[in-house]
Amino acid sequence: MKLVVGLGNPGRKYVGTRHNIGWDVLGEVARRHGTSKPKLRFRGEVVEANLGGLSALLLCPHTYMNRSGASVLAAGDFYKLNTEDVLVVCDDFNLPLTRLRVRAAGSAGGQNGLADVIRCLGTDQVARLRFGIGEPPPAWDAADFVLSKFKKAELPDVQFTLGRAADAVEVWARDGIKSCMNQFNQKTSEE
């Protein structure tokens, strides 16, 4: 069993925001590989999926971003998962727009939802797929920026990268973290 967690915030006002890109990635994975309808469990929404022949649970915590760890811990404990079977998908404003970065472990890098997951699991040895949402413009508060929606001109690139991020989740589940890092940490031709 694999657990893939998409970080975001519940509620209509957060739909389409930069901070909810983790939920958007899981939506694409569910569209491709979901084997159940969404259900409310573990203080979030879950969809069962088949990723490369492996059972997976796609979890979007409904605890709000900064409290995501409680939902992840509940699902992990229920299925008795090791941390190497968990992948967290989140936004990162320290990465250029649409840049993907996969890591096996490390700090939260300023991402509060990831920080809470690390705190609740008691280890930073949890894989993460970061989706670049671009840097806040000058004079913008970082919190306001991550809760803003993508500009119309950015949407085609964001949609394309959502597909690449879903591909990365599949590779992680099927081939492991190293293979995923090798394939998806490459800079794109536009960079």
Q: Catalytic residue positions?
A: 19
Q: Which helix (H) or strand (E) holds 56?
A: strand 54-61
Structure-token pair, residue 37: 């309808």
What percent of the chain has a predicted confidence (pLDDT) above 70? 97
> Does 38 map to a domain?
yes
Residue 11 domain boundaries: 2-184
CATH number at residue 47: 3.40.50.1470
Domain annotation covers residue 191: no
| pLDDT for 174 | 95
Residue 174 covered by a domain: yes
Q: What is the Cα–Cα distance from 188 to 99, expressed in whole angstroms?
A: 8
Does 100 have pLDDT greater than 80? Answer: yes
Tell how strand 39-41 and strand 54-61 pair up.
unpaired
Rounded to two decimals, what is the model's pTM?
0.95
pLDDT in tens, 11-32: 999 999 999 999 999 999 999 9
Q: How many domains are there within the chain?
A: 1
> Is residue 190 in a domain?
no
The answer to whether residue 80 sits within a structural domain is yes
On whether residue 157 sits in a domain, the answer given is yes
The three-state secondary structure class of 46 is strand
| Spatial separation of the C-alpha atoms in residues 83 and 76, rounded to whole Å | 8
